[in-house]
């Protein structure tokens, strides 16, 4: 997938060590990330490493191992399931120490995923936590789980709900991001073979003011580029 991603017309590539990786192969995935960064030319794209969450036992090693080896090739670290400002500060301080020790030529940014009830409650302090923070990402899948919403398809619109059930959360994250000069991105839509559904979801977030949307498949890229081209 990462080899193919080099040639896709996406703005950003996310090398994921979190949800797409089973707990038993976290260390192996870290090695794979290093191999990919050293093997493929991502220089025309924003390159992001999604580490495991700060509350997990893998997070610090994800950041230290990859940034020490390939920090010059990374633009941002993405932190999943950010609950409060301390998560951002932990990663920011860790990055500062690594960069200072290795004398890296540029600062690595941070993207924070807002995908829990606690994170949404604290989104303003999260947005103000560090100058490294560049982007807030709204994650509908884990947010639905933490709120006990009775549906499971990632990013879907609920037809029998009277309105957009994500509107309040999307606006909350948007306002926090804009108040602190940050980009704001909507998470994925998991029904790959449903371009109409993807278009509807992405159009709604774009009309609110979102800057972009994650895609899970190359077929979604053209739609996303069309919707967010302005």
In this prediction, residues 61-73 reach a mean pLDDT of: 96
Residue 156 banded pLDDT, cuts 50, 70, 90 = confident
DSSP 158-217: -TTSSS-TTHHHHHHHHHHHHHTT-EEEE-----TT-HHHHHHHHHHHHHHT--EE--SS
Residue 82 banded pLDDT, cuts 50, 70, 90 = very high
Instruction: Look up the CATH number of the domain holding residue 23.
Output: 3.20.20.60
In this prediction, residues 193-208 reach a mean pLDDT of: 93
pLDDT given at position 155: 80
pLDDT in tens, 133-151: 999 999 999 999 999 988 6
Structural domains counted in the chain: 1
Q: Which domain holds residue 23?
A: 2-227
pLDDT given at position 158: 81
CA dihedral 18, 23, 28, 34 (to 10 degrees): 20
Q: Is the pLDDT of residue 14 over 80?
A: yes
């Amino acid at each position: 997938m990462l080899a193919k991603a080099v040639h896709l017309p996406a703005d950003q590539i996310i090398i994921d060590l979190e949800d797409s990786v089973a707990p038993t192969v976290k260390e192996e995935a870290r090695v794979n990330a290093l191999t990919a960064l050293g093997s493929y030319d991502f220089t025309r794209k924003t390159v992001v490493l999604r580490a495991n969450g700060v509350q997990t036992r893998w997070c610090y090693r994800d950041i230290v191992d990859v940034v020490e080896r390939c920090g010059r090739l990374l633009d941002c670290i993405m932190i999943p399931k950010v609950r409060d400002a301390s998560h951002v500060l932990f990663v920011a301080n860790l990055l500062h120490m690594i960069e200072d020790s290795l004398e890296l030529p540029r600062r690595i940014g941070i993207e924070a995923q807002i995908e829990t009830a606690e994170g949404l409650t604290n989104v303003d302090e999260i947005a103000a936590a560090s100058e490294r923070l560049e982007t807030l990402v709204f994650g509908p899948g884990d947010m639905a789980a933490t709120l006990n919403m009775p549906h499971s398809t990632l990013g879907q619109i609920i037809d029998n709900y009277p309105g957009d059930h994500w509107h309040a959360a999307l606006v909350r994250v948007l306002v926090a991001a804009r108040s602190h000069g940050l980009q704001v991105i909507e998470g994925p839509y998991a029904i790959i073979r449903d371009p109409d559904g993807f278009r509807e979801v992405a159009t709604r977030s774009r009309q609110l003011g979102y800057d972009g949307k994650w895609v899970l498949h190359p077929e979604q890229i053209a739609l996303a580029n069309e919707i967010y081209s302005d």
